[in-house]
């Protein structure tokens, strides 16, 4: 059976994609990033990639890569295509690109309550290395973030 990811194309994101990114962001998260934060990332030296399905943005990711480290700042998949395996394939491709940018390890924070994301990151080999108390806004409260890491290896293809 052909995976949904195999029907997608990866593109470099630009300011022109902010509206579509915000649509996905608002659908996927109770506390979405702001349009200004996305614009700042797109204008900075970040690895910003979108996943296109039938010409429509269905996922995007923003990674910071510097000094041998990759930080996954945001990966967001439209709810109508979540659970179909595209996040893991998309993130693998992005981490391969981070290796091309000389990253040797990647880090990310994830809400402690985000069971689906934790399962994804575990499947990809991430390990918990710490916890940030009260890192995320959660209504009138705060929620801990788990800090995960994954050593990256260069493929000899």
Active site amino acids: 109, 121
Q: Where are the alpha helices (DSSP H) in 52-142?
A: 86-100, 115-123
Q: What is the dihedral of CA 21, 78, 55, 72, to 10 degrees?
A: 60
3-state secondary structure of 27: helix
Q: Alpha-carbon distance 101 to 123, whole Å? A: 23
**Token couple for 43:** 């204008």
Nearest residue to 48 (alpha-carbon basis) of 24, 23, 76, 83: 76
């Amino acid at each position: 059976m052909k995976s949904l990811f195999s029907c997608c194309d990866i593109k470099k994101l630009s300011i022109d994609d902010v509206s579509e990114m915000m649509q996905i962001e608002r659908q996927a998260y109770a506390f979405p990033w702001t349009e200004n934060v996305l614009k700042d990332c797109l204008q900075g030296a970040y690895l910003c990639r979108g996943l296109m399905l039938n010409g429509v943005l269905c996922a995007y990711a923003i990674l910071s890569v510097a000094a041998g480290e990759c930080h996954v700042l945001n990966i967001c998949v439209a709810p109508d295509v979540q659970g179909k395996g595209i996040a893991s394939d998309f993130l693998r491709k992005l981490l391969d690109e981070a290796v091309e940018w000389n990253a040797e390890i990647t880090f990310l924070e994830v809400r402690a309550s985000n069971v689906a994301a934790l399962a994804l990151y575990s499947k990809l080999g991430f390990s918990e290395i710490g916890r940030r108390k009260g890192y995320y806004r959660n209504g009138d409260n705060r929620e801990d973030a788990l800090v995960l890491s994954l050593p990256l290896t260069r493929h000899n293809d």
